[in-house]
C-alpha cells in the first residue's frame, strides 16, 4: 500500500485526500445544517410559528419555482411535494377571500399562478405558488393551509414543504397529509412598510440572519478542518514523520478560523445581495450565489496558506493564490452539483469536487515553484521529493523535523539541515558539525537513507 501511494503523483494524492476529508466533513456537517432547516410539524391541525429560517442557498423549492416560471412579490406562498398526488395550496387574504384551484385570483391582487397535478401529465416534483405583486399585498391577516385533494400515485400519505415570504421574513414548514385531509399551516400579519425617502432607501442595510450566518460558518469550518487534516496526514506520510500534538492544534485552530471566516463571508454576501436585490433576486441567481464562490475561494486561499506551515518551502503567497483559484473553481462546481442534484447528495458531490480541487492546486503550486529539491530514497520502490529553499529542511528524530529518521537507530532530534540559497545547496551535518556545499546529482547516505540533490548547479570540474 505504501509503495502504491508513493507512485501516485502528489497533486493527485492531495486531491484525493482533500476529497476524502470533505466526505467526512459532509457526514458530520449534515446534522449541523438541520439546525437551520425546518422541523416537521406534528400530526395535528395546529401550526408552529417557531420555525427556523430557510437555508436559501440550497433551496429545492426555489429551483422548482424557477422551472415553472413562478412569480414573486411582497407576499409569496409556495408548496412542494414528491409524488403525483394532487396536493392543493390555499390562502385566505385579509379581505376573507380564498385563493385556491377554483378561485385563482382574488380582488386584492393575489394569484395562484402555478397549480400542478390537477390534470395529466402528473409530476413527481410538483410545486404550487401564490403571490401578491410588489406593493400590492393588502394589510391584514393571511391564513395558509394545504389539502390532500386526490390520489394519482401508489402512495396515500404525502409529505409536503410550504415556504412563506412576507414583509422581509421567510419561514418554512414541513409535514404530511392523507387523502382528503386538510391542515392549517401558518397565519401571519402583513403591515404597510413606513414611507421612506430615496436617501433612506439607498442607505438601508439589508437584514442578515446572524444565526444562519454563524451556522454556515461552523458548517464550513468542518470542511476546512477535515480537508486540512487529511492533507497534513498525507504530507506526514510522505515524510514518514508522526503527527504531533502541535500539528493537531494548528490544524484544528487554523481550520476552524479559516472555515468560520470563509463561511461567514459567504453567507453574509449572500444575505446582503438578496437584501439589495429584493424581488429581483430570483431573476439574477448567478449574482445571488456569487457569495458562495467568493467564500469557497477564500477558504481555498486560507487552506493554501495554512499548508505552507506543513510543507517545507511552499511560498505562502503562491499557495494562497493557488488555493483561491482552486476554491473558486471548486465553488462553481459545488453550485453546479447542487443545481443538478439537490440537497444532501448535491452537497456531497459538490464538496468532494471542491476538496479535490483545493488539494490538487496546492500540490501543483509546490511542484511548479520548485528550483531545487531533496530526493529521499526510502527503498528502491519509494521516494519522497522535498522542495529546497531558504527554509531549512530538517532531518532527524525530533517532533518538529520535516524528514523523520527513527531515534532508535541512533539519530539525534536534529541530524542535518539542508537549505538552498543564492543558487547553492548547503547541508549542515549536526552529527559531525560540518557544512557541505552540494550539487545536482550528489548522493549522500544518512543511516539507511539515500539522499539525492536535484538542482541545476553542478559540481565544479
Report d(CA 37, CA 429) in Å as an integer.
Answer: 60
> In this predicted model, what pLDDT tens digit does every residue of 8-17 receive, in sequence order?
889 999 999 9
Tell me the backbone φ, ψ of residue 31, rounded to 5 degrees. Answer: -60, -30
Mean pLDDT of the chain: 82
Report the helix count and the strand count for the chain, using DSSP H and E: 10, 18
- H-type helices in 36-156, by residue range? 60-68
401-420 exposure pattern, b = at least 16 Cβ within 10 A, e = fewer: bbbbbeeeeebeebbbbbbb
As a CATH number, domain 373-454 is 2.60.200.20
Q: In sequence order, what are the residues at sequence separation of 6 or more whose Cβ sits closer than 8 angstroms to the Cβ of residue 260?
A: 217, 218, 220, 221
Query: Is residue 174 pLDDT above 90, yes or no?
Result: no
Report d(CA 345, CA 350) in Å as an integer.
Answer: 8
Q: In sequence order, what are the residues at sequence separation of 6 or more whose Cβ sits closer than 8 angstroms to the Cβ of residue 317?
A: none
Q: What are the E-state strand segments in 51-157?
A: 75-81, 86-92, 98-99, 111-114, 127-132, 140-150
**pLDDT of 127:** 93
Cα 352 to chain centroid, rounded: 10
241-266 exposure pattern, b = at least 16 Cβ within 10 A, e = fewer: beeeeebeebbeebbbebbbbbbbbb
**pLDDT of 34:** 65
DSSP code of residue 278: G
Mutual angle of helices 343-368 and 316-340, in 10-degree steps: 160
Contact present, 16 and 363 (Cβ < 8 Å): no
Cell numbers linked to 395: 532531518
**pLDDT of 204:** 42
Give the helix/strand (H/E) hosting 382.
strand 382-387
Tell me the backbone φ, ψ of residue 64, rounded to 5 degrees. Answer: -70, -40
Cα 362 to chain centroid, rounded: 18
DSSP code of residue 103: B
Contact present, 177 and 158 (Cβ < 8 Å): yes
Report d(CA 376, CA 238) in Å as an integer.
Answer: 10
Contact present, 141 and 75 (Cβ < 8 Å): no
CATH class of 56-197: mainly beta
- Determine what percent of the chain falls in helix, strand and coil, rounding each to the nearest 5: 45, 25, 35
Query: Is residue 50 pLDDT above 50, yes or no?
Result: no
Distance between start and end Cα atoms, the chain: 43
> In this predicted model, what pLDDT tens digit does every residue of 393-447 receive, in sequence order?
998 888 888 888 877 777 888 988 999 988 889 999 888 889 989 888 888 887 6
Cα 405 to chain centroid, rounded: 38
User: Which residues make up the CATH 2.60.60 domain(s) of the chain?
Assistant: 56-197
Stated pTM of the model: 0.65
User: Which residues make up the CATH 2.60.200.20 domain(s) of the chain?
Assistant: 373-454
Query: Is residue 42 pLDDT above 90, yes or no?
Result: no
The region of weakest confidence among 3-12, 54-63, 71-80, 260-269 is 54-63
Amino acid at each position: 500500500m505504501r509503495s502504491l501511494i508513493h507512485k501516485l503523483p502528489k497533486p493527485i494524492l492531495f486531491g484525493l485526500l482533500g476529497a476524502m476529508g470533505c466526505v467526512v466533513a459532509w457526514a458530520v456537517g449534515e446534522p449541523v445544517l438541520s439546525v437551520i432547516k425546518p422541523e416537521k410539524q406534528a400530526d395535528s391541525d395546529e401550526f408552529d410559528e417557531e420555525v427556523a429560517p430557510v437555508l436559501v442557498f440550497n433551496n429545492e423549492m426555489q429551483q422548482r419555482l424557477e422551472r415553472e416560471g413562478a412569480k414573486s412579490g411582497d407576499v409569496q406562498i409556495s408548496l412542494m411535494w414528491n409524488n403525483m398526488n394532487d396536493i392543493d395550496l390555499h390562502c385566505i387574504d385579509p379581505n376573507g377571500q380564498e385563493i385556491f384551484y377554483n378561485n385563482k385570483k382574488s380582488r386584492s391582487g393575489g394569484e395562484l399562478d402555478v397549480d400542478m397535478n390537477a390534470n395529466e401529465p402528473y409530476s413527481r416534483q410538483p410545486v404550487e405558488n401564490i403571490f401578491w405583486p410588489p406593493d400590492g399585498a393588502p394589510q391584514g391577516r393571511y391564513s395558509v393551509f394545504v389539502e390532500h385533494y386526490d390520489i394519482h400515485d401508489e402512495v396515500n400519505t404525502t409529505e409536503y414543504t410550504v415556504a412563506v415570504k412576507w414583509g422581509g421574513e421567510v419561514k418554512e414548514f414541513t409535514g404530511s397529509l392523507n387523502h382528503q385531509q386538510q391542515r392549517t399551516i401558518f397565519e401571519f400579519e402583513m403591515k404597510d412598510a413606513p414611507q421612506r425617502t430615496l436617501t433612506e432607501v439607498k442607505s438601508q442595510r439589508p437584514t442578515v440572519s446572524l444565526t444562519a450566518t454563524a451556522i454556515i460558518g461552523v458548517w464550513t469550518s468542518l470542511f476546512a478542518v477535515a480537508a486540512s487534516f487529511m492533507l497534513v496526514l498525507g504530507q506526514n506520510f510522505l515524510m514518514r514523520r508522526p503527527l504531533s500534538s502541535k500539528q493537531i492544534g494548528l490544524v484544528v485552530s487554523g481550520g476552524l478560523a479559516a472555515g468560520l471566516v470563509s463561511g461567514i463571508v459567504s453567507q453574509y454576501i449572500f444575505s446582503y445581495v438578496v437584501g439589495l436585490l429584493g424581488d429581483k433576486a430570483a431573476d439574477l441567481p448567478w449574482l445571488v450565489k456569487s457569495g458562495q464562490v467568493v467564500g469557497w475561494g477564500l477558504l481555498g486561499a486560507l487552506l493554501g496558506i495554512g499548508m505552507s506551515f506543513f510543507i517545507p518551502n511552499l511560498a505562502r503567497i503562491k499557495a494562497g493564490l493557488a488555493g483561491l483559484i482552486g476554491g473558486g473553481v471548486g465553488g462553481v462546481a459545488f453550485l453546479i452539483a447542487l443545481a443538478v442534484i439537490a440537497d444532501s447528495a448535491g452537497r456531497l458531490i459538490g464538496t468532494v469536487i471542491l476538496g479535490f480541487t483545493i488539494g490538487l492546486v496546492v500540490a501543483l503550486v509546490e511542484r511548479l515553484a520548485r528550483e531545487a529539491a531533496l530526493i529521499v530514497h526510502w527503498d528502491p520502490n519509494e521516494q519522497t521529493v522535498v522542495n529546497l529553499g531558504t527554509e531549512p529542511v530538517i532531518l532527524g528524530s525530533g517532533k518538529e523535523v520535516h524528514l523523520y529518521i527513527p531515534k532508535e537507530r541512533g539519530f539525534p532530534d536534529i541530524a542535518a539541515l539542508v537549505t538552498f540559497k543564492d543558487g547553492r545547496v548547503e547541508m549542515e551535518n549536526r552529527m559531525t558539525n560540518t557544512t557541505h556545499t552540494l550539487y545536482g546529482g550528489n548522493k549522500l547516505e544518512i543511516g539507511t537513507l539515500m539522499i539525492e540533490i536535484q538542482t541545476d548547479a553542478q559540481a565544479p570540474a
